[in-house]
Structure 1
Amino acid sequence: MQTIDSLDALEALYDAPVPASLTKVTKRMTPHYRQWIDASRFVVISTVGPEGTDASPRGEDGPVVKIVDEKTVWLPDWRGNNRIDTLRNIVRDGRVSLMFMVPGCDNVVRINGTAALTADEDIRRVFAKKDKLPKTVIVVTIGEMYFQCAKALMRSQLWSADAPRPEVPSAGQFIKEMKQDFDAVAYDEGYPEYAAGRMW
């Protein structure tokens, strides 16, 4: 396989950027971008660290982040499997990207910037759910934000009710593939929301 190993070689294969792809970029939260972010209940956060890259999905039953000001958003980190790959990366390398999606909408909004972690109780209490608080909050400083072309989601039919629903492994089956004596059925019954067949 011949690889592309220079920017000149790469750029020779493509035309100049479409002007609108550059015009859409903003360095701060504008009213329209605020409206989109407030409507988003799902985000993928991407980080980088000494071991490599990481991308993690985060979801809420309301806005997935809190907009603090035109340069700052807060993302709560709720109790999960305690791998904390994203958090480890942020502590060691603050570069971060967020990709926000809104159900039924084919555009995607992206934020690139820097992040820090806080366990400040006053900030954690902003996200209180009954008596529960997130363990930490990811504080993201916006470097740039822009919307992504809708073509990828349109091609994938991500939100289409008519799109085919393939049979896929459950969470338990993924684990059993790595550990043969694992009881996948019991695991999936204990966490029915993880069983692929019950997600649709």
Structure 2
Amino acid sequence: METIDSIEHLEALYDDAVPGSLTKVRTFITPAYRKWIDSSRFVVLSSVGPAGTDASPRGDTESVAKVRDQNTLWIPDWRGNNRLDSLRNIVQDGRVSLMFMIPGNNNVVRVNGLAALTADPEVTTQFERKNVHPKTVIMINVVEVYFQCAKSLMRSQLWQSTDSNREAPTAGAFIKEVRAEFDAEQYDAGYAEYSKDRMW
């Protein structure tokens, strides 16, 4: 199978970029983009490091990121599985990309930037919830911010309720593929309540 091995080869297959897709890019967080980010409780954080790439979903009960100023975002690292894939990448290579989503809205706001981590209590305690605060906060220096047109989410009908999720494997099913003796049904039954209790 032939592969595309040059930018010239790739670009020859496509028309020129739609002008608006290039001019919409901003180098700072405008008031409209700030309003979107403040309204978003979910973001996908992508990072890169010596071991490879990583894309991590991040969610919160409030704004998933705090806009510090027009060039800076803070994202708390709440309790998870402690794999630290994204955080290891950020320590070694600060390049990150973010996709902010709002349920029911087919647009996506994208941010590219350079990230660093801090465990400074003056920062982490600003995110305290139920007497718990994140161990670290991801600080992102914004390089680019722009919106993604709605076509992909509309095409996928992401926010429309369908029966397809009934056929999707559960978390327990994924574990059972690794451990045949694992009780997937019992795990899935208690997973939602367990996660809710341990959110912070």
SS in 1 for 2:139: strand
What residue is the counterpart of 1:42 in the other structure?
A: 42
Q: Distance in 2 between matches of 1:179 and 1:193?
A: 23
What residue is the counterpart of 2:198 in the other structure?
A: none
What residue is the counterpart of 2:187 in the other structure?
A: 187
SS in 2 for 1:140: strand
Q: Distance in 2 between matches of 1:165 and 1:184?
A: 20
**Which string of whole-angstrom CA distances, capped at 9 and with x for unpartnered residues, describes residues 105-139 of structure 1?**
10100000100000011111111102100110000
The one-letter code of the counterpart of 1:42 is F
SS in 1 for 2:5: coil
Matches within 5 A, 1:40-189: 40-161=40-161, 163-166=162-165, 167-189=167-189
**TM-score, normalised by the number of residues in structure 1:** 0.93
SS in 2 for 1:15: coil
Structure 1 position 181, deviation (Å): 1.9
Where do 4+ consecutive residues of structure 1 move more than 4 Å? none
Q: Distance in 1 between matches of 2:178 and 2:9?
A: 41
Query: Where does the alignment leave 5 or more consecutive residues of structure 2 unmatched?
Result: 196-200
Q: Distance in 1 between matches of 2:66 and 2:116?
A: 15
Number of residue pairs matched? 194
Question: Identity over the aligned pairs, expressed in percent?
Answer: 63
Query: Where does the alignment leave 5 or more consecutive residues of structure 1 unmatched?
Result: 196-200
Q: Distance in 1 between matches of 2:85 and 2:95?
A: 14
SS in 1 for 2:79: coil
Structure 1 position 160, deviation (Å): 1.6
The one-letter code of the counterpart of 1:165 is S
SS in 1 for 2:127: coil
Structure 1 position 193, deviation (Å): 5.8
Structure 1 position 178, deviation (Å): 1.2
The one-letter code of the counterpart of 1:149 is C
**Which string of whole-angstrom CA distances, capped at 9 and with x for unpartnered residues, describes residues 29-52 of structure 1?**
101111111111100000011111
